[in-house]
A and B are shown apart, each in its own frame.
Chain A
Amino acid sequence: MNNRLEELRNQRGVRQEELAAALRVSRQTISSLENGRYNPSITLAIRLARYFGLAVEDIFIYEEEES
């Protein structure tokens, strides 16, 4: 699953540490989310969406995998 997290964070001039502190997660989690290595739980996805004032699907882009 791709996401626009890094782009949105850079647009708002927020550092990874600040975003992590606001969401009460570790900085590594933010880094892993941005790199697409880790997919968040529904709860964290919603918290992220609320933080940026967007819908979850505006941040996370789900693409059906070709089998």
Chain B
Amino acid sequence: MLCGMKSKKTVQLMMVIIGVISLCYGVIGIQSAPEDAHDYATLLGMFAGFGSGLIAVAIFLFIRSKVVSPEKLKQKEIEENDERNIAVKRAAMAVSWMVSVGLFTVLAFALMAMGLRVPSYLCIGALYVQFFSFLIAHRVYDKKM
């Protein structure tokens, strides 16, 4: 349990560090970006938003761990490690994986039909990444189990 708490603190610390870097990059970048570079400014805004989001989630998790009673935290930990909850989560992830494969496939065709070659290739690329990550994960777990 102590080890789990330590790893959670490490994750929160990493979230804050990545968040601060992303936020600083976004905020400083926007100030030095040319006036007419709208796409670049939007990208920097996304970095700033992503960074602030990460920091906010890390702060929320930290405050929750301090404010919520130890009994409730213990119950939360039980819920997180509960084998049925893990099975439910895995089944839901398998379904969402199937949905995303279908979505990327439809998107690739739709974008190509609209003449948007690059976004269509990106969708096809994402499908390949999914497929190969599945093959690698399958091979790893096949050896492990």
Contact = CB atoms under 8 A, between A and B. Distances in A.
B87 A38 contact: yes
B78 A26 contact: yes
Interface residues of A, number: 12
A44 B87 CA distance: 13
Interface string A40-52: 1101100000000
Contacts of A20: 78
A28 interface: yes
A24 interface: yes
B72 interface: no
A26 B79 CA distance: 6
B115 to A, nearest CB: 49
B118 to A, nearest CB: 46
A1 to B, nearest CB: 15
Interface string B80-99: 01111101000000000000
Contact of A44 (B79, B83, B85): B83
Nearest to B83: A41
Contacts of A26: 78-79, 82, 84-85
A34 B46 CA distance: 48
A24 B87 contact: no
Residue of A28, A29, A41 most packed against chain B (CB within 10 A) = A29
Interface in B92-118: none
Interface of A: 20, 24-26, 28-29, 32, 38, 40-41, 43-44
21 contacts: A20-B78, A24-B78, A24-B81, A25-B78, A25-B83, A25-B84, A26-B78, A26-B79, A26-B82, A26-B85, A28-B82, A28-B84, A28-B85, A29-B82, A29-B84, A29-B85, A32-B84, A38-B84, A41-B83, A43-B83, A44-B83
